[in-house]
Chains A and B, each alone.
Chain A
Amino acid sequence: MLLDLPVLEKGSFYFIKDGNSAIILEDKTKRGLEIKETSIDETLKVKADKGMIHDMDGIGHWVPIRWYFSKDSYDLSNVQLHANAMEKKYTELRELTCPQDDD
């Protein structure tokens, strides 16, 4: 079970978990989303579990839920780069929608 895997690192918006053959990066904002397919994510070029989110207009968009970085090709520092980028993106989005009053 993915839930039981040891957590190597966590942020506000991600987990990095230690899988058998891969380091797994999970997007916490996609928690609970049904996995509809597992295929290569064109952005990060690694295998990813994907689900679909429907926008205001009802249009479904494929979104990665978690990425599998093979241990043969990636180490933790590589994955952390992607995790930090994700953390920055979501933090900025949160600031945009819920800005701090004391800023």
Chain B
Amino acid sequence: MWIHEIMSYAHPEVLVDTEWLSQNPPNENRKLVEVDYDPVNGYQKGHIEGASLIWWKRDINDPVTRDIISKKEFEALMSKNGITADTEVILYGDFNNWFAAFVFWVFKIYGHENLKIMNGGRKKWELENRDYTTDEPQITSSQYVAQPPDEGLRAYLFDVSRGIGKEDTVMVDVRSPAEFSGQITAPPEYPMEHAQRGGHIPEANNIPWATAVNDADGTFKGVEELRQNYEPKGVTPDKDVICYCRIGERSSHSWFVLKYLLGYPKVRNYDGSWTEWGNMIGNPVEK
């Protein structure tokens, strides 16, 4: 991607590319964090030199209740990773950066300012045959004070129910067309992520997450292509936009695109997503 394309994003400062990272390794003020859904087949087999690990399931989710971690747990996680409120943090990960985007969203909920994503994630790093290590960095724990949660970034079931039928609210279903139509509720690879009903939230637009990235290396498309991806379907900056998928990770990727690359002022991620909506008794479903 050309530099002028990156600079035309609404917030170009939230992205770094693989080459930049290879020239600017982590240090005391710049922490690199790999975010994995499957660390056994990711981080543990090899990661970028100096990267610590956030395991999405273990570290960013409450261990008992279905929810993201609390402010206190987030502070403990930051301290464990040697991150302070002023640290520049660069996230990247497996599964097309979906979970890195989810963690980006959680960092923003708790007010971390200096935060970036490595464009293309593990996929691009590996396509470029760049080096990995299995050595884990020595981390000195830090003191971290988070901000109160910014609930304006998160949509709950109640918000979604209220948004149905409202002209100024638009729902973006970023799942595959087969999930959107109700043909499947989850692929066989993810037997824990099914719902009792298939289909989508009434009036939602199906704009799969993958339409925002370049097939070849998983990097984000340029601004013009992104605009063309969303605006003709009524997903415009003047709306209250709610993104959802199955468990909220692919939708945080699209949330990132809309909020930080296109600069939409009001975008929320509905992390309850289809595994909540499609399991609730009485929820309206469209096929």
When the two chains form the complex, which single residue of A52, A57, A59 contacts B189, counting CB atoms closer than 8 Å? Answer: A52
Query: CA separation between A56 and B57, bound complex, in Å?
Result: 8
B232: CB under 8 A from chain A? no
When the two chains form the complex, which single residue of B37, B187, B188, B191 contacts A58, counting CB atoms closer than 8 Å? Answer: B37
B189 touches A51 (CB 8 A): yes
Contact with A along B177-197 (1 / 0, CB 8 A): 000000000011111100000
A60 touches B40 (CB 8 A): yes
A54 touches B38 (CB 8 A): yes
The chain B residue sitting closest to A58, CB to CB, is: B37
Query: CA separation between A31 and B184, bound complex, in Å?
Result: 13
Query: CA separation between A78 and B281, bound complex, in Å?
Result: 48
A53 touches B191 (CB 8 A): yes
A30: CB under 8 A from chain B? yes
B65: CB under 8 A from chain A? no
B188 touches A31 (CB 8 A): yes
Q: Is the interface of B mostly helix, strand, loop or mixed?
A: loop
Please indicate the chain B residues that have their CB under 8 angstroms from the CB of A52 in the complex: 189
How far is the CB of B195 from the nearest CB of chain A, in Å? Answer: 16
A9: CB under 8 A from chain B? no
When the two chains form the complex, which single residue of A30, A31, A54, A57 contacts B190, counting CB atoms closer than 8 Å? Answer: A54
The chain B residue sitting closest to A32, CB to CB, is: B188
Q: Size band of the A side of the interface?
A: 10 to 19
A37: CB under 8 A from chain B? no
Query: CA separation between A60 and B187, bound complex, in Å?
Result: 14
The total of Cβ contacts below 8 Å across the A-B interface reads: 40
A75: CB under 8 A from chain B? no
A55: CB under 8 A from chain B? yes
The chain B residue sitting closest to A55, CB to CB, is: B192
B189 touches A54 (CB 8 A): yes
Q: Is the interface of A mostly helix, strand, loop or mixed?
A: loop
Please indicate the chain A residues that have their CB under 8 angstroms from the CB of B191 in the complex: 53
Please indicate the chain B residues that have their CB under 8 angstroms from the CB of A59 in the complex: 38-41
Query: CA separation between A33 and B188, bound complex, in Å?
Result: 5
B4: CB under 8 A from chain A? no
Please indicate the chain B residues that have their CB under 8 angstroms from the CB of A31 in the complex: 188
How far is the CB of B182 from the nearest CB of chain A, in Å? Answer: 16
A34 touches B189 (CB 8 A): yes
B56: CB under 8 A from chain A? yes
Please indicate the chain B residues that have their CB under 8 angstroms from the CB of A53 in the complex: 188-191
When the two chains form the complex, which single residue of B38, B55, B56, B192 contacts A60, counting CB atoms closer than 8 Å? Answer: B38
A57 touches B41 (CB 8 A): no
Please indicate the chain A residues that have their CB under 8 angstroms from the CB of B37 in the complex: 54, 58
A30 touches B188 (CB 8 A): yes
A58 touches B189 (CB 8 A): no
CB within 8 Å of B: which A40-71 residues: 51-60
Please indicate the chain B residues that have their CB under 8 angstroms from the CB of A30 in the complex: 188
Query: CA separation between A90 and B36, bound complex, in Å?
Result: 31
B162: CB under 8 A from chain A? no
Please indicate the chain A residues that have their CB under 8 angstroms from the CB of B166 in the complex: none
How far is the CB of B111 from the nearest CB of chain A, in Å? Answer: 26
How far is the CB of B123 from the nearest CB of chain A, in Å? Answer: 16
When the two chains form the complex, which single residue of A33, A34, A54, A57 contacts B58, counting CB atoms closer than 8 Å? Answer: A57
How far is the CB of B198 from the nearest CB of chain A, in Å? Answer: 14
- Asked if A54 meets B188 with Cβ closer than 8 Å, knowing A59-B38, A60-B41, the reply is no
Chain B residues close to A by CB (< 8 Å): 36-41, 55-58, 187-192
Chain A residues close to B by CB (< 8 Å): 30-34, 51-60
Please name 17 pairs of A and B residues whose Cβ atoms are closer than 8 Å in the assembled complex, sorted by A: A31-B188, A32-B187, A32-B188, A33-B188, A51-B189, A53-B189, A53-B190, A54-B37, A54-B38, A54-B189, A57-B57, A58-B37, A58-B38, A58-B55, A59-B39, A59-B41, A60-B189
